[in-house]
Structure formats: C-alpha cells, structure tokens
C-alpha cells in the first residue's frame, strides 16, 4: 500500500481546524476520527490509501455543508461546525488532493 504526503494547503486547513477544535467550535457531533484526522494532516504525516479513500468518501457525503450559513469567512456563525469538520479533513485543498491521488483500488478498476 502506498503512502501519500499531504501538501502545504492541506496541512494549513487542518491546522486551522485544530485551533478551532481547541477553541470549542467543533460542535457536539464532532467525532474523535475527525480530530485525529485534523492532527494527522496538520502535522504533515503521510497517509495510506485507506485514508485517501475515507477522505474522498467524507467530502462526497459532506459537500452540501459548504452551503450552510457560517461555512464561509465573513458569514454569521463562522466557523460553523460543518466548516470545522471540513477543514479537519483538509478543506478544499484536501478534497482536491484526495481526488488527485492514485490508490490501489483505482488501479484495480482500470
């Protein structure tokens, strides 16, 4: 199984989420998995194919969160719990990066 090194933009988004989590802005539904992922990505630790697959699934399930009030800077309630979670998984850079990575499962389907 290959490993993938998160780029700077992913690390920065996750570090922002770590700060927000520490400030108590993640909300009641925030998971331990989300917090772990935020620290992992913020620290620039390499992730395996399974994590890339989970990131893809997270972004596919939660893309609608970006339409909620408080998701974007300058909106009331920013950062919303959905925005904190989004950035915990690497934010927009994380979504682009996860989709750009080739994983074993992708190779098998070719």
Burial of residue 6 (CB within 10 Å: 0-12, 13-18, 19+) is buried
Contacts of 100 (CB under 8 A, 6+ apart): none
Rounded Cα distance, 57 and 79, in Å: 22
Instruction: Note the pLDDT of residue 109.
Output: 67
pLDDT at 7: 98
Ranges of the chain whose pLDDT falls below 70:
1, 107-110
pLDDT of amino acid 82:
96
Percent of the chain with pLDDT over 70: 95
């Amino acid at each position: 199984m290959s490993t993938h090194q998160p780029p700077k933009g992913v690390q920065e988004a996750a570090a922002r989420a770590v700060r927000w989590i520490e400030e108590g802005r993640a909300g009641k539904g925030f998971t331990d998995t989300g917090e772990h992922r935020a620290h992992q990505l913020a620290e620039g630790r390499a992730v395996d194919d399974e994590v890339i697959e989970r990131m893809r699934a997270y972004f596919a399930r939660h893309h609608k969160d970006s339409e909620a009030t408080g998701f974007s800077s300058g909106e009331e309630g920013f950062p919303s719990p959905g925005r904190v979670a989004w950035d915990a998984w690497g934010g927009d850079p994380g979504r682009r990066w996860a989709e750009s990575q080739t994983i074993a499962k992708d190779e098998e389907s070719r």
